[in-house]
Homo-oligomer: A and B are copies of this chain.
Amino acid sequence: MPLEALAFDVTPVGLHYLLVHYDIPVVDADSWRLSVGGCVRRELSFSFEELRARPPVTRAVTLECAGNGRARLSPRPVSQPWLLEAVGTAEWTGVALLSVLEDAGMKDGAVEVLFHGLDRGVESGTRQRYERSLAVTDAMREEVLLAYAMNGQPLPPQHGFPLRLVVPGWYGMTSVKWLERITVLDTPFEGYQQARSYRVRQTPDEAGEPVTRMLPRSLMVPPGIPDFATRDRRLEPGRCTVRGRAWSGLGTVERVEVSADAGATWHDARLDGPVSPWTWRSWLWEWTPCEPGAFELCCRATDSAGNVQPSEAPWNLGGYINNAVQRVSVVVAET
């Protein structure tokens, strides 16, 4: 199937992205090249086949959008109204960014590595491509990938075909899609997506703090079945296994607690080992409701750096990093 068709013939999420974000670029892998330049000893350029001929690395990674949870903030920030669905785990295959940077050889004075995507948009009146940088020390970490496959298949168009960056542990804006150029810089990058977007601030005039690694978060699969109108979950009486996932980019998840009384009391969930150091951990908690009626289930994760999910997260202009405790209303039926 020609790529032009592919970019349109994707599942709903593709067209949804098309409407909300910068466009999904339609890239011909045969003519596409990745160039590496800037503050390096050797400028490099790779065809798609040349990249695929390098030693492949496969790594399971959980990626979460920095705007996950945005729609729960009030007033609602202007951008994609994610509830809690902007997170996923996949197996990414590609080449280690480190090996490419080593081949290029960074010169003394290199401070950041800039990643140029092919997706374009207009923000604050300026036409631009999507570009984000990483400090050299973050870019040189061995887990960072230049990925050309997702779950064993070529990247779908909406996930960055033909090549994307995957930076484990960081919010998704870091993992630049539709990559076409890497530039090593001797001064910090001040582009729009670095200096203006993805900053935690209250007003447009503030510089704010940059969004970086994922804060701890746990999510449960809401138990029972949904009531269409109220969105409550209806549950039969008796024992119920509450299952979920938890992750953090600031450390490993060490603890998940669950509450059935809106956070008044907490119980430790059983944690399973992560599939990889960079994926969420599964957890479960056996719950037997004490009586019929309404309950509010909550879960919260704690990571090895001591970060705990807050009951409420502070509002910010961009609606980023809202890792507040998830709350699920459940109605348990009479026996």
Q: Which residues of B contact A12 (CB under 8 A)?
A: 13, 85-88
Q: Which of A1-47 contact B (CB under 8 A)?
A: 4-5, 7-16, 18-19, 21-23
> Is A290 in contact with chain B by the CB < 8 A criterion?
no
- Closest B-chain residue to A230, C-beta based? B122
CA distance A282 to B127 in the complex (A): 29
**17 more CB-based (< 8 A) A-B contacts, given A15-B88, A121-B227:** A8-B245, A9-B89, A10-B88, A11-B11, A11-B88, A11-B159, A12-B87, A16-B83, A18-B85, A18-B221, A19-B85, A21-B226, A22-B225, A23-B226, A121-B226, A123-B227, A123-B229
Q: Decide: A120 near B5, CB < 8 A? Known: A12-B85, A19-B83, A84-B19.
A: no
Q: Which residues of B contact A16 (CB under 8 A)?
A: 13, 83, 85
Contact, CB under 8 Å: A226 / B87: no
> Is A234 in contact with chain B by the CB < 8 A criterion?
yes
Contact, CB under 8 Å: B225 / A120: yes
> Is A243 in contact with chain B by the CB < 8 A criterion?
yes
Q: Decide: A23 near B225, CB < 8 A? Known: A4-B243, A5-B282, A234-B122.
A: yes
Q: Which 5 A-B residue pairs are closest in the complex by CB-CB distance? A: A15-B85, A122-B227, A16-B85, A13-B13, A120-B225
Contact, CB under 8 Å: A127 / B89: no
> Is A222 in contact with chain B by the CB < 8 A criterion?
yes
Q: Which residues of B contact A228 (CB under 8 A)?
A: 22, 121-123
Q: Decide: A225 near B4, CB < 8 A? Known: A19-B84, A84-B19.
A: no
CA distance A4 to B175 in the complex (A): 27
- Chain A 211-234 interface mask (CB, 8 Å, partner B; 1/0): 000000000011001111101001
Identical copies in the complex: 2
Q: Which of A110-130 contact B (CB under 8 A)?
A: 120-123, 127
Distance in Å from the Cβ of A318 to the closest Cβ of chain B? 12
- Closest B-chain residue to A9, C-beta based? B89
User: 12 pairs across A/B with beta carbons < 8 Å?
Assistant: A8-B221, A8-B245, A10-B88, A11-B13, A11-B90, A16-B85, A22-B228, A78-B229, A122-B228, A123-B229, A127-B225, A127-B234
CA distance A85 to B24 in the complex (A): 14
CA distance A78 to B229 in the complex (A): 9
Contact, CB under 8 Å: A88 / B9: yes
Q: Which residues of B contact A120 (CB under 8 A)?
A: 225
- Closest B-chain residue to A12, C-beta based? B85
Distance in Å from the Cβ of A118 to the closest Cβ of chain B? 11
CA distance A216 to B44 in the complex (A): 50
- Chain A 281-307 interface mask (CB, 8 Å, partner B; 1/0): 010000000000000000000000000
Q: Which of A81-140 contact B (CB under 8 A)?
A: 83-90, 120-123, 127
